[in-house]
Amino acid sequence: MLAETKKLDVLIVGGGMITADLLLPSLYYLQRTGVVHSIDICALNVFPLKALKESRELLEAFPGQDFAPHPALNEDPGKNFPELSKRVVTAMAPGNMVVVAVPDNLHYEVVMHALRHDQNVLCVKPLVLEYDQAVEIENLAAQQGRFVGVEYHKRFDRRSLIARRAYRRAQFGSFVMGEAKLIEPYYYRHSNFQNWFTCDRTDPFTYIGCHYVDLVYFITGLKPTEVSVQGVKGRFSNGNEAFLWSQARVTWENGALLSVINGLGYPDAAAGSNDQGLVMYCEGNDQTGLIFHDDHNRGVAYSYLEGIGPGGSKYNYASPDFFRLVPWEGPGCKPVGYGYDSVAGITMAVHRLEQTAAGLGPQAALAKRREILREIDAQGLIATAANSHINELVIEAGRMSILQDAAPVRIVYTKRPHVELRRR
């Protein structure tokens, strides 16, 4: 007879776009397949929770599946509950999973609270905005023997995995010059972003540039050593000022250079949903190597009868690779793509951790979980609190630079890595 498997109770903190588009459908599928037990979602107020409950796409794809909302849907719609998620986490049994999907500047507090209450964590990127905070998270996770996975889903794109393997086998040579872009749609400017995407908190490089910096690190293993970011400011319709565009230059430990352009401005009318891609030139033995990823047009174009595409467009480059709900052999739909693979990879890692340690005494269980954590950290496929510090260092350097008109900021890898302004 098969041993009873432990299923995970999952709490998602944050009910916005990433929860609707990726996290909830992925977790519903993992619930359908027996990895996840219950799903709770906590948001700042009832609005996003109602939208998730009423989503036709989710109802059709996952018939009979549901989540428990916090606050309850009959609460006053005008009331905010900024502290509620803490109480919900505190009530969870140890060894389950908290999914952190709140705005970037709130990640640290939610992740630390979850760890203090003995939960594993899946955190959307970026983990936190400062290196010291990442180290605190790493230390607490190691102490508790709990897993913190950072959801950098581009790592799970097959093209990234293929490039990593080939690069590590020296099939391209040494990365020397590259450019990356990720321009999100204009319509983001009309969303909840207006409330948090402000100059004092974040910018396009921090928000999305980090994906491609992480990817170059993931493919090559090289560490970034200097960052300079110039921003272009504008205003949302609610009057809040934001960096709407950014251009960054990242220098790597071998002297390689990467330009990164980012923005909230891909035309709604264009064939999006956004514009993105990566080009990396490499030096070889009397020749050069090249990695070219067109992440925008992946070879599928649809022209709909109605304007049902992103931004209300009719003609679209539809990516079959990131996240799609497709028919399968059972009821509703199933998710496919690297977005799902990434959420599933992290959730399965948590599941394995808890399953392997189940039935052991407290000390043996802790030792077992720590052993598995070390193995996942060393493998380097899933970004963890312990193995992806370069991202926090780059973000910290990027924020320092953009707030000082593109001043070059060095990343210094001493025993205690830190960032510092370079004298021009």
Ligand X SMILES: NC(=O)c1ccc[n+]([C@@H]2O[C@H](COP(=O)([O-])OP(=O)(O)OC[C@H]3O[C@@H](n4cnc5c(N)ncnc54)[C@H](O)[C@@H]3O)[C@@H](O)[C@H]2O)c1
> Which residues contribute to the site for ligand X (CB under 6 A)?
13-19, 42-44, 48, 82, 85, 101-104, 106, 124-125, 153, 192, 207
Q: How far is the CB of 76 from ligand X (least distance, A)?
A: 15
Question: Could you give the count of Cα atoms lying within 13 Å of 296 in the half-sphere of its Cβ?
Answer: 17
Min CB(411)–ligand X separation in Å: 21
CB of 214 to ligand X, least distance (A): 10
CB of 80 to ligand X, least distance (A): 8
Q: Which phi and psi (to 5°) does residue 61 adopt?
A: -75, -30
Q: Are 150 and 381 in contact (CB under 8 A)?
A: no
State phi, psi for 156 to the nearest 5 degrees: -90, 0
Amino acid at 257: L
In the complex, what is the shortest distance from the CB of residue 17 to ligand X, in angstroms, rounded to a whole number?
4
With respect to ligand X, which residue has the nearer C-beta, 101 or 393? 101
User: In angstroms, what is the minimal distance from the CB of 116 to ligand X?
Assistant: 17
From residue 155, how far is each of 12, 89, 302, 368 by CA, in Å? 22, 29, 26, 27
Smallest distance, ligand X to C-beta of residue 130, A: 15
DSSP designation for 295:
-
Nearest-approach distance from CB 207 to ligand X, in angstroms: 6
CB 258 within 8 A of CB 272: no
Q: How far apart are CA 35 and CA 351, in angstroms?
A: 7
- The nearer residue to ligand X, 123 or 256, going by C-beta atoms, is 123
Using CA atoms, how far apart are residues 84 and 80, in angstroms rounded to an integer? 9
- What is the spatial distance between Cα 140 and Cα 135, in angstroms, rounded to a whole number? 9
**In this complex, which beta carbon is closest to ligand X, that of residue 265 or of residue 408?**
265
Nearer to ligand X, 125 or 370 (CB): 125
Which of 257, 111, 104, 76 shows the shortest CA–CA distance to 175?
257
- Residue among 36 and 46 whose Cβ is closer to ligand X: 46
Comparing CB distances to ligand X, the nearer of 9 and 21 is: 21
CB of 23 to ligand X, least distance (A): 9
In the bound state, the residue with its beta carbon closest to ligand X is 16
DSSP letter for each residue of 109-154: HHHHHHHHTT-EEEEESPS-SSHHHHHHHHHHHHHHT--EEEE-GG
DSSP 348-394: HHHHHHHHHHTTS-HHHHHHHHHHHHHHHHHH-SSEETTT-HHHHHH
CA 382 to chain CA centroid, nearest Å: 11
If the CB atoms of residues 298 and 352 are measured against ligand X, the closer one turns out to be: 298
Nearer to ligand X, 22 or 35 (CB): 22
Which residue number, 10 or 18, has a Cβ lying nearer to ligand X? 18
Neighbour count for residue 130 (Cβ, 10 Å): 15
Amino acid (one-letter) located at 215: L
Q: Which is nearer to ligand X, 126 or 289 (CB)?
A: 126
CB of 197 to ligand X, least distance (A): 8
